[in-house]
Amino acid sequence: MAISHPGYAATDTRMQAKILENIKPVGQVHTGAVTDAAATPAVAAGPRPGKDVYTSTCMACHGTGVAGAPKVGDKAAWSSRAAKGIDSLLANAIKGLNAMPPKGTCGACSDEELKGAIQYMLKETGL
């Protein structure tokens, strides 16, 4: 097979192979039937651990102290909050408080996951 263009002909087999390699498709579209595994999204077995919720969401503010968020590890900032109890902390996390939006931007988090994240932050702070 010769690949050609007016004024140019690629007759060298190595050149033809290189050209074909350069213009080959980068992927394929699956046009067959959808299998049950592909159609059914994976469902979590239960709530994510507090550390995972903290790392994926809470750390952005509570790891740096952004907008007045108490930093994990800052006992002075957390002590008065912890003294109010976990239910108070959870209610504030769910509703939002000061600059923290409701659920701290984790709208998909369950109350149980938020509670786990709060407990994780308190534990890491030494409270």
Determine the structural domain holding residue 60 and report its residue range. Answer: 50-125
What CA–CA distance (Å, rounded) separates 21 from 47? Answer: 48
Amino acid at position 122, single letter: L
Asked whether residue 1 is assigned to any structural domain, the reply reads: no
Q: What is the pTM of this model?
A: 0.65
Tell me the CA distances in angstroms from 101 to 8, 58, 78, 93, one per residue in order: 64, 11, 19, 8
pLDDT in tens, 23-75: 887 777 777 777 665 555 565 578 999 999 999 999 999 999 999 999 999 99
* CATH number of the domain enclosing 77: 1.10.760.10
Total domains in the chain come to 1
